[in-house]
Amino acid sequence: MTIHNEGKRIIPIAFFFLAVLDAIIYIFLKQFLIFYFLMTASVVLAGLVVYFFRIPERQIDRNETHVLSPCDGKVVVINEVFEKEYFKDQRIQVSIFMSPLNVHQNRAPLGGEISYLRHFKGAFYLAFVEKSSELNERCSVVFKDKNGTEVLARQIAGTVARRICTYKVPGDKIAQGDEYGFIRFGSRVDLFLPLSAKLTVKLDDKPIGGQTIIATL
C-alpha cells in the first residue's frame, strides 16, 4: 500500500493543525480527564487522514468485453436514464457512492482513449442524493475503446468532498484499470453504459475499483 500524491500534500498540513490543536489541549486541559479523550481522538483522526489517501496494490484483469468499476464504494442507483450531456440518448446509469472510508482513487472502466472531458462547477448536495448527478460540482470523462464503444464516468463532489481531481485530457490514451482521477473526501461516480450492456452488479453491492466487473459489453 502507498500514499496517493494528493495525500502527500494534504497530510503534512493536517498534521500541522492537529499538532497545534494538541499543544493547546495540553496547555489548558492536561489536568482534566477529557485531556486523554481528546488526545486519543487526535491520534485516531490523524490515522484516518492517512488511511483516506491509501492506494492499495491491485492486480487488474484487463478484458475488452468488461466494464470495470471506476472506484470502491456501494452501488446506490441502477436505472435507465436519458443522458443529456454527451450521448443524448438512453443509457444505463450505475452510481457508486464512496464513503470517507473507501479508497478514493478513480480508475478507467475501459481501456482506450479519452474522447471527452468537461468539468462543471455546482452545488454540494449529499452525494447519494439522485439530483447530485446533475446539480453538484462534477467532471464527466468519456472512455472510448478500440471498437468505438464509449462509457461515461462522472465524478461527483458531495457535501464533504470539495475537490475533484482529473489527471487526463481528451486524446490521452489509458489502460483499463489505470488511475484517471481522485476525489476528496466522500463522493460518487456515475457510469453511463450502452443499453446493450449486461449488468453484473445489483443495488447495495460493494464493488472494488479496477477489479469488480460492473457489466459486460
Q: Which of 69, 133, 187, 196 is catalytic?
A: 187
Residue 33's pLDDT is 92
Which amino acid is it at 54? R
Q: Is 159 exposed, middle or buried (0-12, 13-18, 19+ CB in 10 A)?
A: middle
Q: Is 140 a catalytic residue?
A: no
Taking residues 108-115, what's their average pLDDT? 98
Could you tell me the pLDDT band of residue 215, with boundaries at 50, 70 and 90? Answer: very high
* 127 pLDDT more than 60: no
Residue 125's pLDDT is 56
130-181 pLDDT per residue, tens: 555 566 788 999 999 999 999 999 999 876 556 789 999 999 999 999 999 9
Residue 123's pLDDT is 59
d(CA 111, CA 116): 14
Residue 199's pLDDT is 98
89 three-state secondary structure: strand
d(CA 83, CA 90): 6
Contact predicate 85/183, CB 8 Å: no
Residue-wise DSSP of 103-155:
--EEE-SS-EEEEEEEEE--B---TTSTTHHHHBSEEEEEEE-TTS-EEEEEE
Q: Is 81 exposed, middle or buried (0-12, 13-18, 19+ CB in 10 A)?
A: middle
In 3D, which of 54, 74, 84, 55 has the Cα closest to residue 214? 74
d(CA 15, CA 30): 20
Taking residues 52-76, what's their average pLDDT? 95
Question: Which percentage of the chain shows pLDDT scores above 70?
Answer: 90
Question: Which percentage of the chain shows pLDDT scores above 90?
Answer: 78
Taking residues 6-34, what's their average pLDDT? 93
